[in-house]
């Protein structure tokens, strides 16, 4: 298993909401550290979908619609929608 080398910002993920039933078992209130090297148990479909944003966010990038050091992203399952908040902080 790959080890997170600690590059870039530390990213804390929190499940903000679940509409329907998440087949991976994510629940509102779950919280964990995530990075480009460690999916931290996040559903593979969700991780694959957010990876480009995660990579940009972890290494200091910005998109015009992001709010400071916090972003919210949604899983690709629109019928059982999970929303995650990522917050970055210096290591």
Percent of the chain with pLDDT over 70: 98
In a domain, 4, yes or no: no
Residue 44 placed within a domain: yes
Task: Say if residue 64 is exposed, middle or buried (CB neighbours under 10 Å; 0-12, 13-18, 19+).
Answer: exposed
- Please indicate whether residue 2 or residue 68 has the higher confidence score (pLDDT): 68
**Residue 1's pLDDT is what?**
59
pTM comes to 0.92
Among 4-8, 20-24, 84-88, where is mean pLDDT lowest? 4-8
Per-residue pLDDT reduced to its tens digit, 37-55:
999 999 999 999 999 999 9
Q: Is residue 67 one of the residues assigned to a domain?
A: yes
Report the domain count for the chain: 1
Domain residue limits at 33? 10-89
In a domain, 2, yes or no: no
Give dist(CA 82, CA 49) in Å, integer.
12
């Amino acid at each position: 298993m790959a080890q997170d080398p600690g590059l870039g910002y530390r990213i804390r993920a929190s499940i903000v909401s679940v509409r329907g039933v998440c087949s991976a078992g994510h629940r509102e209130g779950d919280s964990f550290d995530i990075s480009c090297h460690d999916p931290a148990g996040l559903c593979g479909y969700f991780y694959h979908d957010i990876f480009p944003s995660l990579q940009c966010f972890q290494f200091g990038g910005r998109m015009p619609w992001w709010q400071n050091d916090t972003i919210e992203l949604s899983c690709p399952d629109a019928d059982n929608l999970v929303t995650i908040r990522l917050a970055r902080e210096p290591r």
